[in-house]
Amino acid sequence: MAVNLTPPGPEDLLPVKGVRLGVAQAGIRKSGRKDLLVVALAEGAKVAGVFTRNRFCAAPVQVAKEHLASGRPTRALVVNTGNANAGTGEAGVAHARTSCEEAARLLGCDPRQVLPFSTGVIMEPLPVERIVAALPACVAGLREDSWGHAAEAIMTTDTVPKARSRRAGGATVTGIAKGAGMIRPDMATMLGFVATDAALTQDALERLVADAADHSFNRISVDGDTSTNDSFILIATAAAGRCDRARLRDAVLGVSQGLAQAIVRDGEGATKFITVRVDKGRNEAECRSVAYAIAHSPLVKTAFFASDPNLGRLLAAIGNSRVRGLDVNRVELYLDNVEVARSGGRAPEYREEDGKRVMAKSEIAVRVVLNRGKAATTVWTCDLSHEYVTINAEYRT
Amino acid sequence: MAVNLTPPGPEDLLPVKGVRLGVAQAGIRKSGRKDLLVVALAEGAKVAGVFTRNRFCAAPVQVAKEHLASGRPTRALVVNTGNANAGTGEAGVAHARTSCEEAARLLGCDPRQVLPFSTGVIMEPLPVERIVAALPACVAGLREDSWGHAAEAIMTTDTVPKARSRRAGGATVTGIAKGAGMIRPDMATMLGFVATDAALTQDALERLVADAADHSFNRISVDGDTSTNDSFILIATAAAGRCDRARLRDAVLGVSQGLAQAIVRDGEGATKFITVRVDKGRNEAECRSVAYAIAHSPLVKTAFFASDPNLGRLLAAIGNSRVRGLDVNRVELYLDNVEVARSGGRAPEYREEDGKRVMAKSEIAVRVVLNRGKAATTVWTCDLSHEYVTINAEYRT
C-alpha cells in the first residue's frame, strides 16, 4: 500500500568498497524471515551517527553511543529486527553488550568496535541467545553486494524495503533504512545506514551526518511520535580516496532524503504522500513550526485520506502553530498550484472542484506563504487512514 | 458509542433564574434538527469568557470578544451549529454582526449586548439569512427550563447532549457544552455555557471563568487539535444574591469538569475514557508536558483502542515529553493499581495478564510518578479508533 514506492532492483544498489553485509534468520519474533544483519567494515573506515532524543533511549542506542565515544574504529554493526530492546533496563544493556561481544569474537576485534541496533516491539526482553546463535551465519555470508538483502532484513511494519545509491564522481554512496510508524521530526522510528567509499576526516563525517539528518530524517512525520531507537549512521571507508566535497554532500543528502521520503511513502496506512512547504517566514524555526502543525494534525491527515478539500482544517492547523504575532490576514495557502486561502478566508477564485482535483491525487503539495520574511522549509508527511489504526491496534498480535 | 455517558434527564437540569433559552430549526446545514439557540439574560446579569488561542480565530469569536470589551452588559447569546463561520474573512465578520443586530432588534437591546457563537464546518460562508429567518422562533420560545433542548441544539458530531447542574447553597449552576473532535488543552473545539444565579463582581466572574477553564476544558485532549471557535462563557445573573464563594467555585468547577469529561467520553470514535495523572514533578508545567505527551500520542491511543498493554509506547511517550533532565530510571508507571514500569524497564512483578485486565476496561487510569518534586496534574483523554478516522474522513459528506 506504499505510495508510489517500488523496491529497488539489485542493479540499482551499488556496492561500497570496504562494506560487506550478511543476513540470517535468528527467529527473534517471527520465523521464516531474515531478521539479523551484520555490516562489516574494512580497516580504515570511519563512522559517525545521530540518535534519538527520546529520554527512554533504548539499550542498543546507549551502547552504540558509548562504543562510538570510546574512540576505537568501528568494525561492525549488528542490527536485529523484531525486538527493540528498549524499556528493558540493565538486562537490556547486558544483552546489547553480549551481541557486540559475540560479533567481535567472530570478526576478531574488540567488542567496543561493534555497534548494536535493534528495532521492533518495546519492553520485551531481547532473546539474545537467538542472536548469538545466528551471528555465525551472518558473518559467513558477508558480501559487498548484499545491500538489498540487508534492507529486507531490517524491516518491521515496512511493506517495501528501502535502499538507495548515488554516484559522486569516483565515490559511491549507498544506504538502507527502515521505518513506517512512530515517525516524527527529531529522528523517526527508523534506522538508517548510509555508506560511502569516499575518504573523509572524522570531523567532516560528523558534520555531514548531522547535515544529512537535518535535511532528511528530521524533516518527516508520520504520526508525531519519536521512537526510543532511532539511529542514523554514516560510514566512510576511504577505499575510493578523496572526492569533491560538494558532490559527495549532494549524493549523501540525496540518498538520505530518498530513504526518508521512502519511510513516509511507506508510512503506516499511508495512501498519500504530502509535501508541506512553508515560505517567507522570519526564520526556519517558525516555518518548521507551521509545517509540523499541518503535518501532525490528525484532522488534516484524515481530510487528505478522504480526498476532502476541508481546507478549514489546514487554516486551523496554521493558526495552532503558535508563531508569535502571526497575521493570518497575510497568509496565503496553496494546494499544488491552486490558491485556496488569503486575507483570512477562502480565495475568491477558489472553486471546490479545483480543491477536489488536487486532493484526489496521491502526491500533493501544500504551500503556505507567511509573507513576513525570507526563510523557508519543507517537510514530508502522509495521510491518516483506517489502515494506520488497524496496523497499530494489531501490532503485537 | 460514547463511553459511559448518558444524556441528562429533564429533572437533572435546574433552571437558573434570569436565564431563558429558545431553540429553532434554521436549516443551516442539515434539515430536520434544531440548530439555532438564543440564550436571553435578565438585566443585571454579568458575563465573562475565555476563547480559542488559534490565530485563525473565527469571526463570531472576534465579534464576541469585541462586544464583551465594549463594557455593555450582555443580554443574549446567539449560537448556531452546522457552520463555524471561521476562515470566512470580512464577510464572516459581517455575518456575525448581522446575527447580533437581528437578535438585538428582537430583544430590544444594542447589538453589542449580543454575543455570537458558531460551530460546524470551517471555511464555508455562513447562511446568515437562515439564521435571521429563524431567530424570531427562538425568541418566541424562550423558557427557563429549556437547558436540555439547548444542549441538543448545539451538537455537531456529538452523539450525546452534554449538560450538568449543581446546587451551591441557595445558588444554582447549570451548564451545557458541545464538542467531540478537534479537542486539545488550550480550549477544545467546544462551546461551553455555564450560568449561575449567584451574584458575583465582574472581576470575580472573570477569575472564576479562567479558573474553571483551567481545571476542565483546558485539561482534555481528543486529537490534539485546537479549533478556531472554542469559547467558554460563564454567566452570573445575581438573581439568587451572594452565596458562599468556595461552594460556588466547587459547583462551577464541578459542572465545568463534568462537561469537559463528557466531551472526552463522547470523543470522536472513543471507546475508552482515560485519566492521565502525573505525580511528583518539579512543577505543574512539566507534569502537563508528560501528561499531554501520553494523551496526544496516536500510538498510545491505538494501543488503548486495541486493549493491548503495549506499555513500551507509554514509556516512549514519557520519553518524548522533553522534560529537562528527566531521569527515566526514577520514573514509575502504573495502569490503575498495577505497577508496570520502574528503573527504566518493566516492573519485575508485572504480569501481562494484569496489564490486559486493566486495558480491557472502558475507564482506565494511567499514573506516572516522576519522583523529582511535589507538583501533580491530571488530564483526560480517549483512545483512537477506526471510528475516529471514519467520522473525520466523512465529516463533510
Write down the pLDDT at residue B220: 83
- CA-CA distances (angstroms) from residue A395 to A121, A130, A181, B259? 9, 22, 11, 34
Query: Please, which pLDDT band fits residue B187 given cuts at 50, 70 and 90?
Result: very low
Cβ atoms of B173 and B195 within 8 Å: the answer is yes
Q: Choose, out of A51, A52, A53, A54, the residue to mutate when testing the contact with B (most B CBs < 10 Å).
A: A54
Q: What angle do CA A83, A89, A90 make, to 5 degrees?
A: 110
Asked whether the predicted pLDDT for residue B185 surpasses 50, the reply is no
Q: How do residues A29-64 score in pLDDT, each as one tens digit? A: 887 899 999 999 999 999 999 988 788 888 999 999
- CA-CA distances (angstroms) from residue A43 to A113, A208, A239, B186, B396? 11, 21, 10, 56, 61
Write down the pLDDT at residue A59: 93
Q: What angle do CA A201, A204, A206 make, to 5 degrees?
A: 110
- Per DSSP, A162 falls in state E
Asked whether the predicted pLDDT for residue B94 surpasses 90, the reply is yes
Query: Please, which pLDDT band fits residue B122 given cuts at 50, 70 and 90?
Result: confident
Shortest Cα distance, chain A CAs vs residue B377, angstroms: 21
Asked whether the predicted pLDDT for residue A84 surpasses 70, the reply is yes
Query: Please, which pLDDT band fits residue B189 given cuts at 50, 70 and 90?
Result: low
- Residue boundaries of the structural domains of chain A: 10-265, 273-393
Shortest Cα distance, chain A CAs vs residue B305, angstroms: 7
Cβ atoms of A197 and A167 within 8 Å: the answer is no
What's the whole-number mean pLDDT along residues B157-181? 89
Q: Do A316 and B388 touch (CB under 8 A)?
A: no
Q: Please give the backbone phi and psi of residue A263, each rounded to the nearest 5 degrees, phi first.
A: -65, -45
Question: Annotated active-site positions of A, please?
Answer: 189
Write down the pLDDT at residue B313: 83
How much of chain A exceeds pLDDT 90, in percent? 62
Shortest Cα distance, chain B CAs vs residue A15, angstroms: 36
Q: Which residue of A has its CA nearest to B394?
A: A306
| B365 membership: H or E segment, kind and range | strand B363-369
b/e A40-66 (16+ beta carbons within 10 angstroms → b): bbbeebbbbbbbbebbbbbbbbbbbee
What's the whole-number mean pLDDT along residues B187-199? 81
Asked whether the predicted pLDDT for residue A177 surpasses 60, the reply is yes
Q: Please give the backbone phi and psi of residue B158, each rounded to the nearest 5 degrees, phi first.
A: -55, 140
pTM: 0.80
Query: Please, which pLDDT band fits residue B208 given cuts at 50, 70 and 90?
Result: very high
Query: Please, which pLDDT band fits residue A86 given cuts at 50, 70 and 90?
Result: confident
Q: How do residues A116-131 score in pLDDT, each as one tens digit? A: 999 988 888 999 999 9
Strands B171-178 and B220-221: unpaired
CATH topology of domain A10-265: L-amino peptidase D-ALA esterase/amidase (3.60.70)
Cβ atoms of A72 and A115 within 8 Å: the answer is no
Q: Which residue of A has its CA nearest to B326?
A: A55
CB pairs under 8 A between A and B: 217
More confident residue, A72 or A230: A72
Residue with cell 553485509: A21
Query: Please, which pLDDT band fits residue A185 given cuts at 50, 70 and 90?
Result: very low
Asked whether the predicted pLDDT for residue A184 surpasses 70, the reply is no
Residue with cell 427550563: B145
**What cell does B174 get?**
447549570
Q: Which residue of A has its CA nearest to B125?
A: A346
Q: Please give the backbone phi and psi of residue A58, each rounded to the nearest 5 degrees, phi first.
A: -65, 160
To the nearest 10°, report the CA torsion of B306, B308, B312, B318: 60
Q: Do B56 and A318 touch (CB under 8 A)?
A: yes
Report ipTM for this prediction: 0.71
Shortest Cα distance, chain A CAs vs residue B299, angstroms: 7
Q: How do residues A306-364 score in pLDDT, each as one tens digit? A: 888 888 888 888 988 888 889 888 999 999 999 999 988 889 999 999 999 999 999 99
Q: Which residue of A has its CA nearest to B83?
A: A312
Q: How do residues B302-343 score in pLDDT, each as one tens digit? A: 889 988 888 888 888 898 888 888 988 899 999 999 999 998
| Helical H segments across B266-311, by residue range | 284-295, 298-305
Q: Do A226 and B394 touch (CB under 8 A)?
A: no
Say how far apart CA B157 and CA B180 lie, in whole Å.
6
Three-state SS for A134? helix
Q: Do B315 and A346 touch (CB under 8 A)?
A: no
Strands A19-24 and A36-41: antiparallel
Shortest Cα distance, chain B CAs vs residue A323, angstroms: 9
Query: Please, which pLDDT band fits residue B236 given cuts at 50, 70 and 90?
Result: very high
B52, B119, B156, B189: which one is catalytic?
B189
- CA-CA distances (angstroms) from residue A381 to A275, A333, B18? 6, 17, 52
* pLDDT winner (highest mean) among A6-10, B63-67, B212-216, B322-326: B63-67
When the candidates are 3.30.9.10, 3.40.1000.10, 3.10.130.10, 3.10.20.340, the CATH number that belongs to A273-393 is 3.10.20.340
Q: Choose, out of A122, A289, A343, A397, the residue to mutate when testing the contact with B (most B CBs < 10 Å).
A: A122
Task: Name the average pLDDT for chain B.
Answer: 90
Write down the pLDDT at residue A222: 66
Q: Choose, out of B122, B339, B342, the residue to mutate when testing the contact with A (most A CBs < 10 Å).
A: B122
Write down the pLDDT at residue A1: 65
Residue of A55, A319, A389 with shortest CB distance to B328? A55
Asked whether the predicted pLDDT for residue A202 surpasses 90, the reply is yes
Query: Please, which pLDDT band fits residue B386 given cuts at 50, 70 and 90?
Result: confident
Asked whether the predicted pLDDT for residue B214 surpasses 50, the reply is yes
Task: Name the average pLDDT for chain A.
Answer: 90
Chain A residues closer than 8 Å to B321 by CB: 55
Query: Please, which pLDDT band fits residue A396 given cuts at 50, 70 and 90?
Result: low
More confident residue, B121 or B237: B237
Q: How do residues B9-37 score in pLDDT, each as one tens digit? A: 878 999 999 999 999 999 998 878 999 99
Asked whether the predicted pLDDT for residue A183 surpasses 60, the reply is no
Query: Please, which pLDDT band fits residue B180 given cuts at 50, 70 and 90?
Result: low
Q: How do residues A249-276 score in pLDDT, each as one tens digit? A: 999 999 999 998 888 888 878 899 999 9
Three-state SS for A51? strand
